[in-house]
A and B are shown apart, each in its own frame.
Chain A
Amino acid sequence: MRFETIREQALNAWTDFDAPGKPRILVGTATCGQAAGAGASLDRIRAYAASRNLADRVWEVGCLGLCYAEPLVELSQPELPRILYAGVLANDVEPLLRGYFERGDLRPDMALATMNGAGAAGIARFADLPMIRSQVRVVLRNSGIISPGNAYHYIARGGYEGLRLALSMSPEQVIEEVQASGLRGRGGAGFPTGTKWELCRKAKGEPKYVVCNADEGDPGAFMDRSVIENDPHSIIEGMCIAAWAIGAEQGYIYARAEYPLAIRRLEQALQQVRDMGLLGSNILGTGFNFQIRIKKGAGAFVCGEETALLASIEGRRGMPHSRPPFPAQEGLSGKPTNINNVETLANIPVIITRGSGWYSRHGTEKSRGTKTFALAGKIARTGLIEVPLGTSLRDIVFTIGGGVPDGRQFKAVQTGGPSGGCLSAEYLDIAVDYENLAEAGAIMGSGGMVVMDDETCMVDVARYFVEFTQRESCGKCAPCRLGTRQMLRILTDICNGRAKREDLDLLEEIAHVVQAASLCGLGQTAPNPVLTTLRYYKDEYEAHVRDHRCPAGQCPGLLRYVIDPEACTGCTACVRKCTVNAIAGKKNQPHVIDQETCITCGACYAVCRFHAVTKV
């Protein structure tokens, strides 16, 4: 099929989808929407739509990144503004839809924003929302706007135009364009993408391979899942362009098994472009051949490391080997292999269509372009954002993310997952780019940002990360295998109030050895969370060691819940909530917690309305 024909069909499909003259209901059903209950809401919406003869006007879309407000539903009808509603649970559906469609009631109390035109009284415009205002969406250009199961939607918004253009350029020209854009690897290490492609293009050996690293393992990071679920074609198009540039005919997407929806979306998208002739043999009649296969991971964090990933594709244990040789020289089956992360690839089509000049206008001198960040933890507006590199941490956490909720105090922001570090309030004004984060002791990583407040124990956070890396260490090299285990032992002792002052020095010493001597990135960066917390939160470590006290009131070994008999009204709320029946007491009489049975889950603390349950 000619591209013009495909594009014409796509524009027709888009007009049908987006026509202002027709009613329309959009429901966000990415993983975050589903976790918030979008599935049940969708059932009710479909039932209502069927009763009004609107069944074919209901669409499932991806995630706008406003995950805190899920389930999100957008309603549209001629003569009325398009409105995005937040927190639409199953029971809200009928009153909301009846009001909007039958009485023109805009329900400003549930509305988050207007999506088009003049707006409506008392409802903010989408582009003016504090979470949206300063974003520049390149990677997220289609997220939540198109139906991810519909290839035509992607194409109508400029999709595969980058591939068409790239195929009219020479591979060298494509590589030059990517180099000129200044794009650096978004998986974390930040290696210049164009240079990587050039190395692979020039490497001797045939065939060559392109691999998309979709093994997003950093806990606290979900941008790759989101990009795949919401806009799978952007990655496929990026891979096709990469394959043309380096001269590959076979590609693999290595995706985490924990992301079933993302894998389904990819399979569906691959089939669609094969059917259209945008993937496979003789793509768009140019003689260029390229195939893509999906490889499902099997639950091993270390497989995000590129040499381990290749071992896993080959059916072996995912153990890294030392580099060189780099995969660009000797990768899959010993052949030159170009490995890029999901977000990196999603940038490529835009760089080709809008040009490297446009792309490199965003960002800082050494860190060009935009970066997505996953905001999570103790932050008011959790979700997924994309901002120009160089945006300050303060803007990200407070202006966009809305700061720390429940009146608590900001303590730290953790970037870069288990390889990253925790940055304290004094770093809030740094401009976020690869260099500045590394200088502060953290790393960019894949872009997870977990905010911590005064109820988060930083020693426990360090212990948490080391427990993670210790569990995920593949065991090949001794510094990582043994070092993480010893660090974990010391940190566990500290959290339980069993450690001595000297243990802090020993912990730091081991951390430096593991950092210097480990084989791959997993071990080399595993000590980062320990070293940054030791650097910025030494007082918390000392409180655990010296006073056997956890200042944040989190470490279970140093924590007890007790009930103040004066404040207790004997309402039995905590008795009923206790998951292990550890609370005794009759109605209207003070209750008592049996410390032997208590598992310090905090259910009583959370439920008590009289502040009678206290931590000691």
Chain B
Amino acid sequence: MQQQLQDVFDRYTGEQSELIPILQDIQDVFGYIPSEAMSETARFLNLPASTVYGVTTFYAQFHLSPQGRNRIHVCQGTACHVRGAEKIITAIQAHLGIAPGETSQDFEFSLEGVACFGSCALAPVLVVNDTVYGKVTPAQAVDILEALR
């Protein structure tokens, strides 16, 4: 891990304004932000570890635990909401047995509700591993996930 972190730090000069980009790079490498990476980042930027932890936990994008192989994002924007996003989450939750914010035990799936993808015209929207699906029904959502197994 040390080497991978060093590779990230090498791209920066060590100012606090670089904290969020550094955390984004770390998450790109590991898929989440390991606690050791937070301490190392604090050392690199000469900041208290509490500041790094505070920033990491403030932003919804950062995960503190490993994520599943397939990342499921259900859009919870207004248009998606009035067109039934809640029902999609309920169906996926019942099918996989994980709530939003959780990862399945076999690390196959992580489920997350996301504020808005801005694809409101095709609501409700489901994003699985960067593929955007528009006008999804609960039954289709479950089919899409099953096809990934």
Contacts and interface: CB of A to CB of B under 8 A. Distances in A.
A35 B114 CA distance: 16
A219 B82 CA distance: 12
A281 interface: no
B144 interface: no
Contacts of A579: 91, 94-95, 138-139, 142
A67 interface: yes
Nearest to A70: B122
A219 B130 contact: no
A376 B90 contact: no
Interface in B53-100: 54-55, 58-62, 76-84, 86-88, 90-91, 94-95
A235 B139 CA distance: 41
Q: Give the bracket for the number of chain B residues in contact with chain A.
A: 35 or more
A299 B60 contact: yes
A34 interface: yes
Given A259-B118, A316-B55, A300 B60 contact: yes
A296 B24 contact: yes
Contacts of B122: 32, 35-36, 67, 70, 382
B48 interface: no
A36 B134 contact: yes
Contacts of A556: 86, 90
Interface string B126-149: 000010111101110010000000
B26 interface: no
A157 interface: no
A301 interface: yes
Nearest to B93: A599
A64 B80 CA distance: 21
A450 B91 contact: no
Contacts of B142: 579
Interface string A559-588: 000000000000000000101100000000
Interface of B is mostly: helix
Given A31-B132, A300-B59, A579-B138, A315 B118 contact: no
A316 B91 contact: no
B29 interface: no
B120 interface: yes
Interface in A424-459: 448, 450, 452, 456
Contacts of A456: 82
B132 A317 contact: no
A456 B118 CA distance: 20
Contacts of A600: 87, 90
Contacts of A222: 116, 118-121
Given A299-B61, A314-B17, A464-B78, A216 B132 contact: no
B120 A448 contact: yes
A376 B91 contact: no
Contacts of B135: 36
Contacts of A452: 82
A225 interface: yes
A594 to B, nearest CB: 13
Q: Which among B15, B76, B79 has the greatest number of chain A C-beta atoms within 10 A?
A: B79
A260 interface: yes
B113 to A, nearest CB: 9
Nearest to A451: B82
Contacts of A189: none
Contact of B58 (A67, A318, A465, A607): A318
A596 to B, nearest CB: 12
Nearest to A37: B134
B117 interface: yes
Nearest to A582: B94
B7 interface: no
A221 interface: yes
A478 interface: no
A34 B118 contact: no
A415 B135 CA distance: 22
Contacts of A318: 58-59
A506 interface: no
A298 B87 CA distance: 27
A603 interface: yes
23 contacts: A31-B119, A35-B132, A36-B135, A70-B121, A219-B81, A222-B119, A257-B24, A258-B116, A258-B117, A296-B20, A298-B24, A315-B15, A315-B20, A377-B83, A377-B123, A378-B82, A382-B79, A383-B121, A461-B78, A556-B90, A579-B94, A579-B95, A603-B87
Given A31-B118, A35-B125, A382-B122, 9 more contacts: A68-B121, A257-B61, A300-B58, A377-B83, A378-B83, A464-B78, A599-B90, A599-B91, A602-B87
Closest 3 CB pairs of A and B: A67-B121, A299-B60, A298-B59
Interface of A: 31-32, 34-36, 67-68, 70, 216-222, 225-226, 257-260, 295-301, 312-318, 374-378, 382-384, 414, 417, 448, 450, 452, 456, 461, 464-465, 468, 472, 474, 556, 577, 579-580, 599-603, 606-607
